[in-house]
Structure 1
Amino acid sequence: MNDKTRTSDSGGRVLRVFKALRGHSLTGLSNGDLAKALGESPATINRCMNTLIAEGMATKLDTGRFALSIAVLQIAQAHANEMAMAQGRINEINQRVLAGANR
């Protein structure tokens, strides 16, 4: 295996947990839900969640369940805003092209 294909097993586990939280921002998922869905032990899920929480990417809800953090939602919103601006610019260029074609 060369250096370009080396990955972190623990990093991969954390990212799989992160992705599993998608779509559960309001109600969250329990440690057990995550463990079952990902085929990992509850202790492994706990370590992954501790990492995500420490990095500001997840939060523990009052119910004890886990959800993506506001910071993740802000990242998603920033991306959506950027795409909307890009679409606006594309639309503007298309209008200019069409206006020039009508001359």
Structure 2
Amino acid sequence: MSGSQISTSGTRILKVLKALKGHTLTGLSNGEIAKILNESPVNITRSLQTLIEEGLVIKLENGSFAHSIQMLQIAQAHAMHLNQIHKKIIDINQEIMNDAS
């Protein structure tokens, strides 16, 4: 895909979502996110508004922003899926070992 086909606002929104990684409990302020991403606070505000509207980010009581429960549920579902696949691989390997004996 060429660069001209990429949405700059969409890219910024995703970068904001990634910048919040590791700050689930304490969050980051608009200014902190802007500094991390070298973006204007106005653009970060727009991105945060979109993420909040979509349920992926929340504003904490301290005024900072963090991943929402919905975002954490997505991460948890991914982890559970990987765990199921891992268990299936273990079961298959166990069958192979039992049949080899």
| TM-score, with structure 2 as normaliser | 0.95
Distance in 2 between residues matched to 1:59 and 1:31, nearest whole Å: 12
Aligned length: 99
Q: Paired residue for 1:53?
A: 52
Q: Paired residue for 2:93?
A: 94
**Quick one: percent identity of the two aligned structures?**
52
Q: How does 1:12-27 map to 2 (within 5 A)?
A: 12-27=11-26
- Deviations for 1:21-70, whole angstroms, at most 9, x for unmatched residues? 01100000001100111001111110010000000010000100000100
Structure 2 gaps, min length 5: none
Q: What amino acid does structure 1 have at the position aligned with 2:95?
A: R
Distance in 1 between residues matched to 2:72 and 2:60, nearest whole Å: 15
Q: Tell me by how many angstroms 1:81 deviates.
A: 0.6
Residue 63, structure 1, aligned to residue 67, structure 2: no
| TM-score, with structure 1 as normaliser | 0.94
Pairwise CA RMSD of aligned residues? 0.7
